Structure 1
Amino acid sequence: MHTVWKGSISFGLVNIPVKLHTATENKDIKLRQLHKECNSPISYQKVCPVCDKEIKNEDIVKAYEYSKNKFVVLDDEELEKLRKENEEKAVEIIEFVKLEEIDPIYFERSYFLAPDSGGGKAYALLRKALSDSGKIGVAKITIRSKEQLAIVRVYGQTLLMETIHFPDEVRNVEEVPNIPSEDKVVQKELDTALMLIDQLTAKFEPEKYQDDYRTALLELIEQKRSGEVTVTATEKEAVVPSDMTDLMAALQASLDRTSKKKPTVRKRKTKEKKEA
């Protein structure tokens, strides 16, 4: 399992060296875009709309747009300094709370925490303490230059870290349009709805569910591949520079001219031998 971050987590005076592993994966099927005429994959270029030319990575700088077409440019050294100042810090658990106190809207991404060299005992201690207390730890961590709020909890025999949104990243629910202000519901309709919910209530077993669209798409792709309903991208022909073309033409002309002269020379030498 690939390690995405190495550091340590601390609570009080206990310090735990850990490795971070992504707990989930995106299984969306990625489809390429081809040119309909020749089936070649479409490429995307970074082009300056003013200079009307393709821009190389070394000619690009990062900037923050604070108003329309007004920017603050930040160089790589400044950004790297900020990143190092934050990433080199240990992840400190700030406080402990109950999991049910956090609304699911805050949860973002899950990571498995594994003990690094020498961290097994402290890891087991935190896992046992969280399990017995029924609490989770709230911490901060910087991943890929972004500071994240996170929670640490027990998942099976593993410590799981889940990044969660900061409060200002969750939009105000009061801004959602067209929400009824009062419950104007007919009692008979409510009773029927409650009866339906009761009939469909079951224990959550994630194994029962699957991505039907992804499964169907994979089956369609396999059917087409097995039936050889496929296309092959057209390879781009190598373009010979004009000066190279001129050179080749000149070399070929020289070769032709030389080959025509050689028989004449041979005849002359033969004639000279006869006269001798």
Structure 2
Amino acid sequence: MRSIWKGIISFGLVSVPVQLFSAIQEHRVPLHQVHADDGGRIRLRRVCEEEGKEIPYQEIAKGYEAPDGRTVILTDEDLAQLPLPSKKTIDVLAFVDEDTIDPIMFSTPYYVGSADRAGAKPYTLLREALVDAGQVAVTKVTLRTRESLAVLRVHDDVLVLQTMLWPDEVRPASEAAPEGDTKVRPQELKMARSLMDTLSEGFDLGELHDEYQEALQQVVEARLQGVEPPREAEEVPAASNVIDLMSALRDSVKSVRQSRGEAASAQPEEEEEEALAAAGGGTARTTASRAPSGGAARKSTAKKTAAKKTAAAAAKKTAGRTAAKAPAKTTGKTAAKTAAKAADRTADKTAAKSPAKTTAKKTAKKTASRRKAS
């Protein structure tokens, strides 16, 4: 590897001579801009707006345009002599726990190597101290004329310098969050965790590869051979405004297991039952049954309707029998009261055995009132 920077790590009065190496190597199929009609290469020309002619790279400098339209020209010498203490020094500011730094701030990683044999001892000391403390070092460093925040951490027994964004360069995330106060049920969270565990079984990050680059290389090879490149029509699932999260999560777990060749099982349903129990036993089941989906909704509604009809019929029949058995000498008013009390007792008993308690009681009272009126 070719070194891109040389300097020292400075923490306290300890200095470690080091050099930096690029830690990443992106793989891309090189594509160029060409003329679509004849394949001629399109190249960038640096043309001066004042003179209207192309300028060689050696005569190009950096400039800053002031708000009043004036331009300040900065030479390479101006940039090289900026009064920055971090130009050749990785200046350690503090040591902190790594989880105190949001990963969104991380940028480019560099391997840190010892510059000479004399630096091996302090290099190893710093590395072991970081490992022993379980911390990272927050630093400042200037790379390519730009000062950056960075952290020093350990990776595979090697120090890594990871540049960072400045805190004011990270936009607030509040505007991207969903609007409103959306709640999820405990059983939905439980099933989501089940899906997470299923997706993570046997996962190996090292086995992942860039499928886009492979597909692009296949298209290039096909064009070079003069044949039609492979094409795959991807079906886009239709979007739905109504989402049954429990069904989607349950089906996702089944789909992942089937894609791995695992035998289909009732485990997702069992996990859902466990989730319902964990959410409060019978209360959770009652809550879930209020908003069932598909066939479950129709079955639940049918059961409730049948229960209501049964309770009403039983109450009506019992009220009629009670009125018929009342003594003849009883006046119409007394018979009506007796029938009403009997209907109330019967409705309570019947409703206790049926989900439609309130409906049965009201039906019995209405029946008694009609007989009283007649």
> Shared topology, TM-score over 0.5?
yes
For 1:216 and 1:92, the matched residues in 2 are separated by: 44
Aligned length, in residue pairs = 227
Alignment check: 8 A CA contact 2:5 2:21 kept: yes
For 2:91 and 2:167, the matched residues in 1 are separated by: 19
For 1:182 and 1:99, the matched residues in 2 are separated by: 31
User: Which residue pairs with 1:13 in the alignment?
Assistant: 13
Is 2:157 aligned against 1:153?
no
State the 1:40 CA deviation.
1.8
Normalised to the residue count of structure 2, the TM-score between the two structures is 0.54
Aligned letter for 1:212? E
After superposition, the C-alpha distances for 1:133-181 in whole angstroms (9 at most, x for unaligned) are 111111111100010111111101111110111101111223x357314
State the 1:27 CA deviation.
1.4
For 1:68 and 1:179, the matched residues in 2 are separated by: 42
For 2:70 and 2:181, the matched residues in 1 are separated by: 45
After superposition, the C-alpha distances for 1:51-75 in whole angstroms (9 at most, x for unaligned) are 4433344554422234384544334
For 1:188 and 1:128, the matched residues in 2 are separated by: 45
User: Which residue pairs with 2:121 in the alignment?
Assistant: 121
For 1:50 and 1:81, the matched residues in 2 are separated by: 29
User: Which residue pairs with 1:207 in the alignment?
Assistant: 206
What is the percentage of aligned positions where both structures have the same residue? 37
Aligned letter for 1:8? I
Aligned letter for 2:26? N
Alignment check: 8 A CA contact 1:94 1:139 kept: yes
For the residue of structure 2 that corresponds to 1:26, the secondary structure is: coil
User: Which residue pairs with 1:218 in the alignment?
Assistant: 217
User: Which residue pairs with 1:133 in the alignment?
Assistant: 133
Which has the larger Rg?
Answer: 2
After superposition, the C-alpha distances for 1:79-125 in whole angstroms (9 at most, x for unaligned) are 22117x54644222111001111111010011111111121111111
Alignment check: 8 A CA contact 1:109 1:162 kept: yes
For 1:184 and 1:69, the matched residues in 2 are separated by: 54
- Counting strand residues as a fraction of each chain, which structure ranks higher? 1
Alignment check: 8 A CA contact 1:87 1:145 kept: no
CA distance 1:203–1:163, change in 2 (3 Å): farther
Structure 2 portions without partners, runs of 5+: 229-374
User: Which residue pairs with 1:183 in the alignment?
Assistant: 182
State the 1:45 CA deviation.
1.1
For 1:88 and 1:218, the matched residues in 2 are separated by: 41
For the residue of structure 2 that corresponds to 1:8, the secondary structure is: strand
Structure 1 portions without partners, runs of 5+: 230-276
- Counting helix residues as a fraction of each chain, which structure ranks higher? 2
For the residue of structure 1 that corresponds to 2:81, the secondary structure is: helix
Higher relative contact order (CA 8 A, sep 6+): 1
State the 1:187 CA deviation.
5.7
Aligned letter for 1:110? P
For 1:88 and 1:70, the matched residues in 2 are separated by: 29
